Amino acid sequence: MRVITGSCRGKKLKTLDSLDTRPTTDMVKEAVFSIIQFDVPASSVLDLFAGSGQMGIEALSRGAKHCVFVDSNPEAVAIVKENVESCGFTKESRVLGMDSLEYLKVAKSGLDIVFIDPPYRKGIVEKALELVESKLNEGAIAVCEHEKELDLGEKSYGRLEFHKRYKYGKTALTVYKIPMKEVD
């Protein structure tokens, strides 16, 4: 697994050798960053269920100003720290070993991009969307990676409005956005 583009383009990232962690495929990662490419520079990012940290690291490589990585698995946290350090993003990162939903209950607001990629078939995506909405800035984006069988519908979560759904093999992406307020 490598960083696709930006300041760390081509940098190899370590991953967990575990059945519990499912790394995002390069095809899906490229699709995500194609969708959000203009929103990444100078953004504040949250990578929930971080695994190896590849999504947050890709955002930092593309110019995000800060990323918080959250994962409850101590081995994943160690891998994220190693990857962040090897890419030179220690100052721009905060890596936390805790439950992602618990983190959302205490997180500060001010987020621009959130990656939500929880274990499949556990009903966690909806809970995360409900909790994260109040932490997001106007114009923020939430990108949810989940099994294609999960249909989140076109439901809104507070200010987070359904934007679009994409399918890639066994994986689906559902994107939500908080609209910018119109200026008179």
Nearest to 168 by CA among 62, 40, 32: 32
Cα 97–Cα 50–Cα 24 angle in degrees, nearest 5: 160
pTM of this prediction?
Answer: 0.93
Each residue's pLDDT, cut to its tens digit, for the chain (184 residues) gives 889 999 999 899 998 876 455 677 788 899 999 999 999 999 999 999 999 999 999 999 999 999 999 999 999 999 999 999 999 999 999 999 999 999 999 999 999 999 999 988 898 999 999 999 999 999 999 999 999 999 888 889 999 999 999 999 889 999 999 998 876 6
Q: Kindly list the strands in the beta sheet with 66-71, ordered across the sheet, starting from the edge strand earlier in the chain.
A: 93-97, 66-71, 44-48, 111-116, 136-147, 171-177, 161-168
Task: Return the amino acid letter for 169.
Answer: G
